[in-house]
Amino acid sequence: MLKKIPVGELRPGMYIHELCASWLESPFWKKSFLLEDEVMLAKIHKSSIEEVWIDTGKGDDVAQSVPVADEEILAPPVVPVHVVRVAYRDVERVSMADEVGRATSIVNKSREAVVSMFSEARMGKAIDASNAMPLVEEIAASIMRNPGALIGLARLKTADDYTYMHSVAVCALMIALASQLKLDDETIRELGLAGLLHDIGKMAVPATILNKPGKLTDDEFVSVKQHPAAGHAMLLAATGIGAIALDVCLHHHEKMNGSGYPHRLAGEQISLYARMGAVCDVYDAITSNRPYKQGWCPSESLSKMAEWSDGHFDPVVFQAFVRSIGIYPVGTLVRMESGRLGVVVEQQEGKLLLPKVRVFYSATTMAHIVPVLLDLAGADSSDKIVAREEAGKWGLTDINRYWLGDDAAKA
């Protein structure tokens, strides 16, 4: 039986069906869980949450000295408070400055959620998609408000947390690509979940192999190549996993020319969703710092992928991907016609070559200048991008602070 109670009546042993709070406000990433001890209870008391739904069929009930009033046992809304499924086309787009703070909170909590979820998978516990969907929904809403914010932040992962944050990044990229392809909202959600879980099979690969800084041996590479099938088996045993996530998990390493794995599928044998997964997976992999190499800059990565697109990727899907993140994605260092260097701060819809750029360095004097934000699509804009640049060539470090917001954009 589901029952809504004030947090003051909570005690260990109760099964929480739903906290009456948004996913970001909750101290836990799961929607439903057993309240195991006083430590967990204290986290709820420290939050702003006032009421919760408990399931007395799965845990303890409140002590009752009088009959329960009818209104106390009413079922909760069909759609949980923290998984409100909005129509994505109705989400209002906001600026990078307005979204980056919220996106930061989502990325930070997503890291906690994925580490916990993947760790449970490594220990053999079955995944419940209902616990992952609030995370997917938060990521999707952020992407609809401003895709560059969360995608840019997810790219800044460290080599140590690559396995986990790669899943968050691919979730975000899949949602952005699906939106660009004008897929329906439910398919977008399913693709977000697919991106989040596409590499769950790596939990069956020894950590020493995943984090090895040098070249893998033939046997180690065989072990890594087994992760799609291992992940597919995990998802078959999970609860609430649909066909799209199963397909993407198993086939995101297939290539259009048939040279991929595990089944060497080619062309139309590979579903649209798996072809999308292949593009998003590779982009995040090559833009991220790994134990064995530094990531490439976003724009260079797209250029490299374009060179591989005939045999590796579906060219139509790849072009849609470029439109979704921009020819010069957020965080790309560029040289302007004026001789200034700047970082791409924000994309502008329908204007792939005219992003917003924060210039901060003079290539002529080889010195920092007062940062200035340029709107290249503005009527009074007189500058333009002439090339992408490598930060190391100019001795520049920490260039990401120039797109993270005005407070950080100080030389």
19 and 150 share a domain? no
Q: In what order do the strands lie in the sheet with 2-6?
A: 2-6, 51-55, 15-19, 33-34
Cα–Cα distance, 319 to 317 (Å, whole number): 6
Peptide bond into 262 cis (omega under 30): yes
- Domain membership of residue 291 (yes or no) is yes
Count Cα atoms within 13 angstroms, Cβ side, for 121. Answer: 30
Q: Looking at residue 290, which CATH number applies to its domain?
A: 1.10.3210.10
How far apart are the C-alpha atoms of 93 and 142, rounded to whole Å? 9
Residue 387 belongs to some domain of the structure? yes
Cα(341)–Cα(363) distance, rounded to whole angstroms?
7
For residue 161, tell me if it sits in a domain: yes
Which candidate, 332, 347, 338, places its Cα nearest to that of 390?
332
Can you read off the two tokens belonging to residue 277? 């997964």
The closest of 230, 180, 168 to 205, measured between CA atoms, is 230
Q: Where is the domain boundary, 43, 77, 111?
A: 77
Q: Do 315 and 360 belong to one domain?
A: no
**What is the distance between the alpha carbons of residues 195 and 210, in angstroms, rounded to a whole number?**
19
Q: What is the pTM of this model?
A: 0.88
Instruction: Answer yes or no: is 177 within a domain.
Output: yes
User: Is residue 173 a contact partner of residue 323, using CB atoms and an 8 Å limit?
Assistant: no
The residues, any chain, with a CB within 8 Å of residue 20's CB and separated by 6 or more, are 4, 49, 50, 51, 52, 53, 81
Q: How far apart are CA 171 and CA 193, in angstroms?
A: 7
Q: Do 198 and 292 belong together in one domain?
A: yes
Q: Is residue 236 part of a domain?
A: yes
Cβ burial of 217 (10 Å; 0-12, 13-18, 19+) is exposed
Q: Are residues 156 and 228 in the same domain?
A: yes
Q: How far apart are CA 16 and CA 9, in angstroms?
A: 12
Please indicate, yes or no, whether residues 30 and 135 belong to a single structural domain of this protein.
no
Residue 229 sits in the same domain as residue 95: yes
- Domain membership of residue 112 (yes or no) is yes
Q: What is the C-alpha to C-alpha distance for residues 391 and 57, in angstroms, rounded to an integer?
A: 58
Same domain, 185 and 258: yes
Is residue 297 domain-shared with residue 338, that is, in the same domain?
Answer: no
Count: domains in the chain: 3
For the chain, 411 residues long, the average pLDDT of each consecutive 10-residue run is 93 93 90 92 94 94 61 46 66 92 95 93 92 94 96 86 92 98 96 98 93 89 96 96 98 96 97 98 92 85 86 94 95 96 92 94 96 93 94 90 64 36
Q: In angstroms, rounded to a whole number, what is the distance separating the alpha carbons of residues 231 and 23?
A: 26
| Nearest by Cα to 197 from 266, 127, 139, 141 | 127
Q: Where in the sequence is the domain holding 397, given as residue range(s)? A: 333-402
Residues 297, 212, single domain; the answer is yes
Query: Do 373 and 243 share a domain, yes or no?
Result: no
With vertex at residue 411, the alpha carbon angle to CA 285 and CA 389, rounded to the nearest 5 degrees, is: 40
What does the H/E/C string look like for the chain?
CEEEEEHHHCCCCCEEEEECCCCCCCCCCCCCEECCCHHHHHHHHHCCCCEEEEECCCCCCCCCCCCCCHHHHCCCCCCCHHHCCCCHHHCCCCCHHHHHHHHHHHHHHHHHHHHHHHHHHHCCCCCEHHHHHHHHHHHHHHHHHCHHHHHHHHHCCCCCCHHHHHHHHHHHHHHHHHHHCCCCHHHHHHHHHHHHHCCHHHHHCCHHHHCCCCCCCHHHHHHHCCHHHHHHHHHHCCECCCHHHHHHHHHCCCCCCCCCCCCCCCHHHCCHHHHHHHHHHHHHHHHCCECCECCCCHHHHHHHHHHHCCCCCCHHHHHHHHHHHCCCCCCCEEEECCCEEEEEEECCCCCCCCCEEEEEEECCCCEEEEEEEEECCCCCCCCCEEEECCHHHHCCCCHHHHCCCCCCCCC
Statement to judge: residues 215 and 124 lie in one domain? yes
- Tokens for 255, please give them: 């290539």
Domain end marker among 40, 57, 77: 77
Name the domain boundary from 325, 354, 385.
325
Helices 96-122 and 129-145: crossing angle, nearest 10°?
160
